[in-house]
Amino acid sequence: MIYFNSTELMTGHYYNYKLYSMNVIYVSELFGSIQVLIATVPEKPKKTEFVTSSLTDNSITVTWDEPSYIGGIPIQRYDLWIDDGADNFGAAPIQVVPLLGDKTFTYKFTSLTAGLIYQI
């Protein structure tokens, strides 16, 4: 196996690569191409904060801020987990897709059971 190492790449940029093989006489047809977006791991999001709760629709609303460092490209989504009121977190998170330009996010959990303590 042959490896190719690109260095000094910048976050937030796309790099395109194409692969051909070549001998003394011929160049092959294009074998394949790949486009790579360079980014790094973003900081963890700011801690969620309680905003409000409602007994009329059994809901809890939370808010959080975008991390200071987002890895060189916009955040595509946040995953939120809420337990069932008995310390059991679900297998799948609730996915929140940020709107372009937003720095503060809010989510309202609904259909909760009154009298239970929830963790988010």
Residue 114 in domain: no
Q: Is 105 exposed, middle or buried (0-12, 13-18, 19+ CB in 10 A)?
A: buried
Residue 35 in domain: no
The rounded Cα 83 to chain-centroid distance in angstroms is 21
Residue 88 in domain: yes
Residue 4 in domain: no
Q: Please choose, from the candidates 3, 18, 4, 13, the residue with its C-alpha nearest in 3D space to the C-alpha of residue 36.
A: 13
Residue 65: give the domain boundaries.
49-109
Q: Are 72 and 90 in contact (CB under 8 A)?
A: no
Question: CA angle at residue 41 from 39 to 45, to 5 degrees?
Answer: 125
Residue 80 in domain: yes
Residue 95 in domain: yes
Per-residue pLDDT tens over the stretch 47-83: 889 999 888 889 999 999 989 999 988 888 999 988 8
Per-residue pLDDT tens over the stretch 17-38: 998 889 999 989 888 899 999 9
Tally of domains within the chain: 1
Place of tokens 């790579």: 36
